[in-house]
Amino acid sequence: MSPFYDPVLPPLDEGEVLRYAGCKEADRAVLDLLSDCSQEALEAVQKNACYLTLPLEITGDTCNFGLFNLTSRDLAKALSDCEKAVVFAATLGLGLDRLILKYGRLSPARALMLQAIGAERIETYCDLLSLHVSAEEGLFATRRFSPGYGDLPLSAQKTLFAVLQCEKRLGLCLNDSLLMTPTKSVTAIFGLKKAPDCRESKCSHCTKTDCSFRGA
């Protein structure tokens, strides 16, 4: 199992935060709210992540990672031409969840902005992790592919949790509905290949066409 990955994150991408918050046009009040929430949110973040680099063999729609198999046409397509695969889990910890819960009762607008900041931070964290692992391996990373994405069933969460020992290593829990606690957490797989991926849309493998973030 890999060591924990705990980099220094870059400053907030405020444009991304506003996108996650559903703000197409931000007035001064919204920008002030974002600024006011940022420090409180960032102080609450307690990030942690672990990962495994695994062999990869694809036969039809079945991806064999050595320790486990997953059958998904979309995942097999995303990992085609890859030499290895990386399975990982990342979380921002419970502190941000507690803040969101607190302000959900006191100030829904603030809770929404905190949710958006959390979404931007966990995505940034995952991006850095994929760059870190690809540099270690001397290969290029593909886009991340999570359970519930495309035709990969959400039930694949159970497999990733077992392989990564998420509860023991990260304090990351999975409930009966296959939702994670802390909520600002990600489990995913990405491939490692000799040539860089084309930077296609993050949404290109997803069949959920009514998503408000489609095309991002």
| pTM of the predicted model as reported, rounded to 2 decimal places | 0.89
Domain extents in the chain: 14-193
Local structure of 40: helix, strand or coil: helix
By the 8 A CB rule, do 96 and 118 touch?
yes
Q: What is the pLDDT of residue 122?
A: 98
Mean pLDDT, rounded, for 31-37 = 96
Local structure of 177: helix, strand or coil: coil
Mean pLDDT, rounded, for 89-115 = 97
Q: What whole-number percentage of the chain has pLDDT above 70? A: 90
Q: Considering only CA atoms, which of 5, 115, 116, 97 is closest in space to residue 52? A: 5
CATH code at 14-193: 3.40.109.40
Q: What is the pLDDT of residue 214?
A: 46
Tell me how many degrees the CA angle 36-32-215 measures, rounded to the nearest 5.
Answer: 100
What are 120-148's pLDDT values in tens digits? 999 999 999 999 999 999 999 999 999 99
